[in-house]
Amino acid sequence: MFNFYNYKGKLLFSDIKYQELDEITEKEAANFNGLSYFLNNNPPSQSRRCFCVSHPSLLFLNHEDLGLISISD
């Protein structure tokens, strides 16, 4: 389950609840037009820092291979 937030007109979502952010509903998040940002809590030395994804299932990949191109909406 994800938590969704609107921060300065940007959609943020995370599997961690952030009390300091204004939470919005999943329906509001689904109707949001614009970029979405995934918030994570990883040590910087063990993270790719940031990257673009084109499908929500890409967020929790254990490895990358050519199977990524077969994912459809």
pLDDT digits (tens, 9 = 90+) for 34-54: 888 888 777 767 666 566 666
With contact defined as beta carbons under 8 Å apart, do 4 and 26 qualify?
yes
| pLDDT computed for residue 68 by the predictor | 52
Write out pLDDT tens, residues 50-70: 666 666 777 677 665 555 556
| pLDDT computed for residue 31 by the predictor | 92
In this predicted structure, the answer to whether residue 23 has a pLDDT above a threshold of 90 is: yes
> What is the 3-state composition of the chain as percent helix, strand, coil, each rounded to the nearest 5?
25, 20, 55
Q: Say what the pTM is.
A: 0.61
